Amino acid sequence: MKALWAPSVLAGLALVDAQAPVFRSGVEAVRVDVSVMNGTNPVPGLTAANFVLIDRGVPQVVDHVSVDTVPLSLMLVLDTSGSMSGERMTDLIAATRRLVQSLKPVDSTALLTFAEPAELVVPMSRDRAPLLAALDGMKAAGATSLYDGLFLALQMRPEATDDRPVALVFSDGRDNVSWLSKSSVAEAIRRSGVITHIVELEQDQVRGAGVNAVSLILSELAEAGGGRRWSATSSRDLRELFAKVLDELRSRYLLTYYPTGVTREGWHDVKVTLKGAGGDVIARPGYFVATPQ
């Protein structure tokens, strides 16, 4: 079963690279999605004057700042491996159900599960009924294919829409069966334009031991997508934690600017900081513009 899935994953990786442009520079606007938090609380009330944005080392003028004006295209990417059996799965279903019910009518959702193999269960839609029904049918079994699942979720990114693409990933363990590597998936996330939040349910044996190897990997993947790693110590915490993720998404700032003083093609490193305000800033690390054919 997995062998049948692997070629499509590898073909998809080539497709993402070929379709790498997410934003376009030159005379066209670039939009950068930015999170500003104080702990787990969003920082409200910021304006264009509070942001310092640098594109390829060149300071830019932030033309416009908006908050919570863009519908979400939310890809739910959930770990259904064997370690999620019992109470963990029950709590995950309940937390996800509450999250879906909290979305706005204009938001779209999709459900993708990953164990062995990863599977698109419900395609992107504004109709909540199929997704809510599918949640009740989720079962825990098999190994963990986090990288393959996350990569498959990137393929669900809506085309030709102004919706804000988001992957909300949940996992309780280390990837152990994916065909794709962490580095290839991190690069795909970086170029995809998909905000990537990862909620980790920490394993009992590593709690209290500082940041472990799994947490570092999940943090790296989240940061590649301009998102955050959120940590839960119990599956009972997932409902509250998912609500905090949604609150963060509703409070993110969308910065618009028109790049000046930088060449158009290639990778653009983007750095966003604050002035006259405090908070922890996370934004996408940059964007890519392909050379015209």
Laid out side by side, the sheet with 195-201 consists of 118-125, 108-114, 72-79, 164-171, 195-201, 229-232
Question: Helices 182-192 and 146-154: crossing angle, nearest 10°?
Answer: 20
What is the pairing mode between strands 266-274 and 51-55?
antiparallel
Q: pLDDT tens for residues 36-63?
A: 999 889 999 999 999 999 999 999 999 9
**Identity of the amino acid at 150:** L
Place of tokens 């509250």: 240
pLDDT over 70 (residue 65): yes
- Residue 130 has a pLDDT of 97
- Residue 204 has a pLDDT of 56
% of the chain residues with pLDDT over 90: 74
Q: Which of these CATH numbers, 3.30.460.80, 3.40.50.2300, 3.40.50.300, 3.40.50.410, describes 72-250?
A: 3.40.50.410
pLDDT over 90 (residue 5): no
Place of tokens 């920490």: 202
pLDDT over 60 (residue 167): yes
pLDDT over 80 (residue 205): no
Kindly give, in sequence order, each residue whose CB lies less than 8 Å from that of residue 244, ignoring residues fewer than 6 positions away.
Answer: 40, 230
Q: Torsions phi, psi of 188, nearest 5?
A: -65, -40
Kindly give, in sequence order, each residue whose CB lies less than 8 Å from that of residue 106, ignoring residues fewer than 6 positions away.
Answer: 71, 126
- Residue 211 has a pLDDT of 54
- Residue 116 has a pLDDT of 86
Euclidean distance between CA atoms 235 and 216, whole angstroms: 20
Assign 170 to helix, strand or coil.
strand
Euclidean distance between CA atoms 173 and 54, whole angstroms: 36
- Residue 156's pLDDT band (cuts 50, 70, 90): confident
pTM exceeding 0.85: yes
Euclidean distance between CA atoms 67 and 121, whole angstroms: 31
**Identity of the amino acid at 112:** L
Place of tokens 């390829």: 56
- Residue 160 has a pLDDT of 57
pLDDT over 70 (residue 4): no
Please list the residue range(s) of the chain that carry CATH number 3.40.50.410: 72-250
Euclidean distance between CA atoms 220 and 182, whole angstroms: 9
Mean pLDDT, the chain, rounded, equals: 87
Euclidean distance between CA atoms 199 and 232, whole angstroms: 7
